[in-house]
Structure 1
């Protein structure tokens, strides 16, 4: 049975982003980092003061991960780079999928061993892939035949890996070997093909429940470890994109949203599209892992 969350949702930043995405919480700095993909920006939001600043990285930016003090690992169109958060300097690392000019990198996260997992998206054919970039500099192809590699994460016991293919309206689960970094035994965890919306970015809480932002769905849905919907957070915007836990006790859910592609009438009906939202919960999230390279 689905419960509607009783906690109020707060608009914490009137960002008006085109495509807000990829939020990650820095527990040491007490800052939320997030991206605006099409505006080429990596944002830094301070919830204590309401201040928000950004770096213009010169091209689309699909995902970020912490990579040491004052450094982010950034997934851009076809390459990974390090971003110095003091100087704004970008240092390219590697390039892949350059032979697929219409593809671009999308969502990404680090596992507990400090390896960066990121995927690509393909506008038409299922030509997107999932990659693992290791601290030793090696790149590994982990999955193929995807359309939009999206929302990914790991169960608290590190035995299960989750991956979303948004246009397919499915969240998949895999067996995960934390030592080798391998995935196997793909199966459908959540099937939303009967719905009119699409699963986007996700986060996982300390109880092993999955929180998935629903593109075109005006909501975030919480699924139990069996893939059953148990909670729905209604939002005042049409295009939620991703979410993460932050705050002092990792009990604040931050939600990024988008305005891209909306008509004037839709924007008037969803006036705060592209803004950053938050709600206080009594549920604790998992810490964000850093790239260890």
Structure 2
């Protein structure tokens, strides 16, 4: 595996997002929000599969019942790869047609924690939700225009989530599925881009893709920046750890918002990249909704 990021799928995604390693398939799943499409990459064979979906799709996660759970603009759906069909199971923001779902993770108990955002990227209408046991509840975190994350610490006691336009990374304490306190974890300085999707490694460090920042960052649990991985494109949306040892980092990227001149200078914009993370990621969980 390359030490520097190399493209493994040059699909030119408009807004690649939500990479997740599905261990039972030894495959990486991710989405192109704007296509809208769901993608699957098998690194052992190089096989690539894609499914068109009926609305903007922010994330896709493995389900304990088989198949996948996907977050579309209209709500949370069961997604059947065999048929390509989406079946709505929860519509937490049916009264906010200008919003869409944007990023998600699965907790150790199988609960899906996911965010929403204003699709126009203007109003503070984005929230963080928790779906478990058939109940979808607002976590009570303050609304922002664009949420990203969440992601959990290895012990599940800390939830990381982003105010992307505000360039702030927050850390919230979680007990029994409820947020109890929130603190500022890190600020992204002017000119460094915007914090997009987060993920956590086995050492408890937070990896953050920087949109318009040309890099992935790694922060230790105290919020100290300890590593920066330069990328060959500007818009990095999220990293996921995969492979048999969970030491391969996969990064989704986006061509959204780039001018013709910028696209010409970044021919790999929107590609899926891989590189040696130098550390293992955390084993993923399956959703039990």
Tell me whether 1:236 sits opposite 2:232 in the alignment: yes
Task: Find the counterpart in structure 2 of residue 166 from structure 1.
Answer: 164
1:266-285 CA-partner distances (Å, limit 9, x unpaired): 11121100000000133010
Cα distance in structure 2, aligned partners of 1:256 and 1:280: 15
**CA deviation map 1:47-95 (0-9, x unaligned):** 1222211111111000111103541111100311100122212111021
Counterpart in the other structure of 1:155: 153
Partner of 2:204: 208
1:99 deviates by: 2.4
Distance verdict in 2 for CA 1:117–1:90, change over 3 Å: same
Deviations 1:240-266 (A, max 9, x none): 101100011000000000001110111
Give the whole-Å Cα distance in 2 for the aligned partners of 1:176 and 1:287.
Answer: 20
Q: Distance in 2 between matches of 1:241 and 1:59?
A: 19
Residue in 2 that maps onto 1:253: 249
Farther off after superposition, 119-128 or 189-198:
189-198
Matched, 1:137 2:134: yes
Find the aligned partners of 1:14 and 1:153 in 2 and give their Cα distance.
Answer: 27
1:113 corresponds to which residue?
Answer: 109
Question: Residue 267 of structure 1 aligns to a residue in which SS?
Answer: helix
Aligned runs of 1:1-293 on 2, under 5 Å?
A: 7-68=3-64, 70-122=66-118, 123-134=121-132, 136-142=133-139, 143-177=141-175, 180-293=176-289
TM-score (norm 1): 0.94
Displacement of 1:288 after TM fit? Answer: 1.3
Other-structure match for 1:3: none
- 2-side partners of 1:84 and 1:100: how far apart? 26
| Equivalent-residue separation in structure 1 for 2:81 and 2:65 (angstroms) | 9
- 2:80 & 2:123 partners in 1: Cα distance? 35
In structure 2, distance between residues paired with 1:212 and 1:196: 12
The gaps in structure 2 that reach 5 residues or longer are none
Q: 5+ residue gaps in structure 1?
A: 1-5
